[in-house]
Amino acid sequence: MSHSVTITRTTTSTTNTSYIVLNTGYLKTFPGLLKLFELIIGVAIVTIMAINFDARYFATYRPQDLFHYLMATTFMIGTFCLFLACLTSLSTGGLIAKTIYELIYHSVAAILLVVSSALLLIKLKDYKHDSYMAAGILGLVNAVLYFISAFLAHRSYRGI
């Protein structure tokens, strides 16, 4: 009885300093680029929301703004930690993609960012604020990136 065997080789390029190993090859992969763009857009949203932050109005008049600010900050920090773990370890990028964590994380991030962005954009019909419009649209773009990451995580998930 014969069967075929597929052998997959992964080439990893590293930048080795005395204490820190950087997996620069991870940045050349599609999941690595997605995480990088999710992080950059997250920083842009948080920056826009922080510039317009006024604590007196958030708590009582505009809870949608605060919710979007909190969701963008939460997933920006989570993505940074995940990206940093994959970048500083030679094995994390390949291993964590095979677990259920990435699927759950990216799915929850996508859903909550869609909800917070939609609530923010619906609230904008009551008053005009261009920077909030930009933050809401960037939130939707980031949610699409998280949906793509969730799809890729679902395809690579192995129920071990």
Q: pLDDT-derived band of residue 15, with 50, 70 and 90 as boundaries?
A: low
Residue 135 lies in a domain: yes
Cβ-contact 44, 36 below 8 angstroms: no
Cα separation, 150 vs 141, whole angstroms? 14
Residue 76 lies in a domain: yes
Based on the number of CB atoms within 10 Å of its own CB, is 17 exposed (0-12), middle (13-18) or buried (19 or more)?
A: exposed
Q: Which domain holds residue 117?
A: 24-156
Which of 42, 35, 13 has its CA nearest to residue 153?
Answer: 35
Residue 132 lies in a domain: yes
Cα separation, 101 vs 106, whole angstroms? 8
> Any idea what DSSP says for residue 127?
S
Residue 160 has pLDDT above 70, yes or no: no
The per-residue pLDDT for 113 is: 97
Residue 14 lies in a domain: no
Residue 78 has pLDDT above 60, yes or no: yes
Which two tokens mark 146?
A: 């998280």
The more confident residue out of 110 and 53 is 110
Residue 147 has pLDDT above 80, yes or no: yes
Percent of the chain with pLDDT over 90: 49
Query: Average pLDDT of 78-101?
Result: 85
Lowest mean pLDDT among 25-29, 41-45, 68-72, 140-144: 25-29
Residue 53 has pLDDT above 70, yes or no: yes
Residue 142 lies in a domain: yes
What is the number of structural domains in the chain? 1
Which two tokens mark 30?
A: 């599609």
Residue 11 lies in a domain: no
The per-residue pLDDT for 115 is: 97
Residue 49 lies in a domain: yes
Query: Average pLDDT of 3-29?
Result: 67
Residue 16 lies in a domain: no
